[in-house]
Amino acid sequence: MKKGKINRILDIYTNLMNGHLIKKSHEVQKYGVNERSIQRDLDDIRNYLSDQAAAQDGCENSVVYDYANKGYRIAAGFEKQLTNSEILAVCKILLDSRAFCKKDMETIINKLMYCCVPKENKNSVKELILNEMHCYVEPRHKTRFMEMMWEIGESIRKKQYIEIDYIRSKDKEIVKRKLKPVAIMFSEYYFYLAAYIDDKDKVREKFQVYNDKYPTIYRIDRIKKLKKLKEDFIVPYKDKFQEGEFRKRVQFMYGGKLQKVEFKYSGYDVDVILDRLPTAEILHEEDGIYTLRAEVFGKGIEMWLKSQGDFVHDIKFHV
C-alpha cells in the first residue's frame, strides 16, 4: 500500500473516530482521487472496525451512511462510549460536587464534551452547562491535587507505604505520618485518603479508640507533601478493608467508634433518611412517624441528624 493511501485512510479514520462527518465529494477534492478510491478506504475502515470488535469483546463501531446529513459517520457501540445524555449527567454531577479548582474542572468538562458524537451535539451540551461553568465556585483551598491522588492510588494498588506531611485541621499544625493507604473516597466537596497509621507510631495512643481496626481519614487537599516509600505492607484477606461497607456507615468523613443510633423521623419523605444512611432500617411506623435504627461511625451522624431540625427527635446511641 502506497504511503499516500496509508496517510489518507488514517486521516479519514481519525476524523470518523473524532465524530466528524465524511463526505466523499469533499475527500475527492482534498486528496485528488476519485470517489471509488474513497469508497474503498471507507470499506477498509469498516472491515477493520469489524475485525477489532471480533478480536475484543464484540462491541462494534461501524461506518454508516447518514442520509439526513449526506455523509459517512461512526455509529458507536454505546457499551464502550458515553452517550450524550450520560455526558451531560456526568458534567452536572461534577459541577455540583465542587471537588476541583476551576482550572481542573474546566479541563475535565471540556474533555468530556469532546466525547460527544456527532460533534453537533457538543454545542448542545455546552449550552446546557455554560452558565453553570461560568458561575462555578471552586473550593477555598484552591489546591490542585489530582497527580497526588493518582500517586496515592498507585500506592494503594501496590500495597506500598507512604509518608505524608499533613495540615491538621484542629490547630493547622503540620504533622508527619507513615501510613498504609487502603482507599480513596469522596464526600461533601472533598477527596479523602483512608489509611492505617504505622503500628510503631505513638500517635495512636492519643486516639479515641486505641488499636482501632478501622482506618484514619485524611483530606487529600491538606496533604502538603507525599513520599512513596520503598516498603510494602501485607493485608491478610480476612482483614482486607471493605471500602463500600465503611462508606455506608460514615457521615461527613468523621471517624470514631462503631455504634448504633436509634431515632424517630416525622418528615415528609423517609427516603431522605434511607438514602443518606444506607444501613438504616425502619423498626416501626405509626401516623407518619418512623422509628429507625442505623449502624454508623463517629460523631458525623449526630451533626447530620441535628441538621434535620424538628423532623428528627428522640435520638439514642448504643455502642
pLDDT digits (tens, 9 = 90+) for 223-264: 999 999 999 998 776 667 777 778 777 777 777 788 899 999
Q: In the predicted model, is pLDDT for residue 114 greater than 60? A: yes
**pLDDT of the residue at 113:** 83
Q: Going by C-beta distance under 8 Å and a sequence separation of 6 or more, which residues neighbour residue 291? A: 262, 263, 264, 282, 283, 284, 285
Name which of 194, 161, 166, 193 is nearest 180 in CA terms. 161
CA 270 and chain centroid, separation: 27
- Residue 248 in grid coordinates: 455506608
β-partners of residue 300 are none
Q: What is the pLDDT of residues 256-274, one digit of tens each?
A: 788 899 999 999 999 999 9
CATH of 3-75 given 1.10.1040.10, 3.40.640.10, 1.10.10.10, 3.20.20.60: 1.10.10.10
Q: What is the pLDDT of residues 126-175, one digit of tens each?
A: 888 888 899 999 999 999 999 999 999 999 999 999 999 999 988 899 99
Q: Please give the backbone phi and psi of residue 218, each rounded to the nearest 5 degrees, phi first.
A: -130, 130
Architecture label for domain 258-318: 2-Layer Sandwich (3.30)
| CATH dotted code for 146-241 | 2.30.30
Domain positions in the chain: 3-75, 84-134, 146-241, 258-318
C-alpha dihedral (264, 267, 270, 273), degrees to nearest 10 = -70
